[in-house]
Amino acid sequence: MRLFKLRQIGPLGTALVLGQIAWAVRQHWVTLPLDRRRRLAQLLRQAGGSPTRLSRAERRELADLVRELELAGALRRGATNALVPRL
């Protein structure tokens, strides 16, 4: 099976790929317990895009929560599902 480049699949294909990736990330997000999701959202809001706004302990906690999400796996699965042609 061959993976296609985003520019070869056009704007609709790109939207579909991004949708698949977003769906995979969401699936990982909902597997995280509610209290952990709330804490992750709180830390992300507090950081405001800059981890230096967090204490060392909060940065460590944020890293642990992000690791729990397994985002790399979610992105990989989403992209693979979207780009690998179905037989």
Within-domain flag for 38: yes
Q: What is the pLDDT of residue 2?
A: 46
Within-domain flag for 64: yes
Within-domain flag for 69: yes
pTM: 0.63
With a cut of 70, list the residues of the chain below it in pLDDT.
1-9, 75, 78-87
Q: What is the pLDDT of residue 87?
A: 45
Helix residue ranges per DSSP H, the chain: 6-31, 34-47, 56-69, 71-83
Within-domain flag for 1: no
Question: 28 CB contacts (<8 Å, ≥6 apart)?
Answer: 69, 70, 71, 73, 74
What is the number of structural domains in the chain? Answer: 1
